[in-house]
Every structure is written in structure tokens, then in C-alpha cells.
Copies of this chain bind each other. A is one copy, B any other.
């Protein structure tokens, strides 16, 4: 039998708590953790600084809650997309589908609650750059499983490439992904306005295309030995 939810369970103004989370997410993602004060967050959310303490106890607690909010849904969505991608028969197509399954949820619109979202991905990028401790802990225990699943799936599509190389290349993928969300304006600037770095669809296509090719590159071990390495030494 389902009962009416009591006031203990139903937040009266879920808007406030949610507004604080959203404001913090945005501010952290654009300015870093330490550059943003609790008062900044409260003001952006139209709340009182005390409210932040009430809902999340500490500033770290607020960050932790942001991660908790997103990690589950994001990994779920990635798993779904990965499972579907694995069912693609053609090896080349499957590789692309797997990469896409990894990339797409990271770019989905920021206001999207459950999809992960570009804003949360940008937040993760910034936290990883700052070496934030809270983020580091929750990331390692939440995303490594997913990362391994993707690496395995990619390895299945490219059996002749050593796993080590695939790890490196998927690492590069994540770096490129992060950076695309952190500094999209740089793309617009360098392309002299011919490309819009902020357009997610554009970024996804470019990233997927480039990454698939990178994964398909010959393995490192047998690729280099016979060839001379050109133009590395210090003197021109």
C-alpha cells in the first residue's frame, strides 16, 4: 500500500537545495574549487550562506554530493550505450560505437539531470587538474570500473593492439574530452571562427572520428624499431 509521503521525506523547498547544487556545480566547473566561496555559491543560488551549511554541512560535503548526484546515472547511461555498442557486428563500426558510448554522455546538455552532462564533465576536468582530494577518491572508486569496461570493449575490437597502448589512447581520449569542455573558445579562435568549439554535436563528431583513428594506429612495439627517429635532438 502506498502512503502519502510525510513531511519528513518530502522537502518543502527542494528548489533551494537543488539551486545550491546547480550553482555550485557551475561555479566550481568554471573557476575551480578554491576560487569559489560558499558565499558566492549562496548568492548565485539566491540562498543564504547558512543554508549551504545546513544542507551539506561543509564545502567538501557539497562537492561530494554533486559527485553522488551524477556518478550513478552517468555510469548507468554509459553502461547502456556500451552494451548496445558491443552488439554491433562489424568490428570497425563497433569500435566507433564504443567510443561514441563513452563520449556522448559526457557532452549531453548541462541541465539534463540524469545524463551526466557537459557541466559535470567540465567539473571533473577542473577537479582533476586541481588535484582535489575529495574528487580523486570518489573518481578512482567510481570510474575505474567503467574505464576498464570500455578498455576491454575497445580491446575486443582491436585484438592485435596491446592493452597498454589502448590504455594510453583512452587516456588521451579523456584528456581531449576534458579539454574540449574546458576551453571550447580556443577552437573557435584558432579556426578563425570557422568552427564552433562550443557546439557539442560538432565536438562529438570530431572527437569520435579522431579517436577511432588513434585507436586504430599500429601498435607501438612493432611500429618504431626499424625506423630512424627523425628530428628530435636539440640542435636544429
User: A residues near B, CB below 8 A?
Assistant: 30-35, 80-81, 83-85, 88, 93, 96-97, 100-101, 104, 125-126, 128-131, 140, 144, 147-148, 151, 163-165, 167-180, 182-183, 186-187, 189-191, 194-195, 197, 203, 205-207, 209-218, 220, 223-224, 230-232, 236
Q: Measured between C-beta atoms, what is the minimum distance from A231 to chain B in Å?
A: 4
Q: Which of B31, B35, B93, B177 contacts A175 (CB 8 A)?
A: B177
Instruction: Say yes or no: B183 contacts A179, CB within 8 Å.
Output: no
A33 vs B33: C-alpha distance when bound (angstroms)? 11
Q: Measured between C-beta atoms, what is the minimum distance from A122 to chain B in Å?
A: 9
Cβ contacts under 8 Å, A216 to chain B: 213
Instruction: Say yes or no: B126 contacts A207, CB within 8 Å.
Output: no
Cβ contacts under 8 Å, A128 to chain B: 129, 179, 182-183
Known: A85-B231, A187-B167, A231-B84. A131 touches B217 (CB 8 A): no
A230 vs B217: C-alpha distance when bound (angstroms)? 22
Most central of A130, A147, A205 by chain B CB within 10 Å: A130
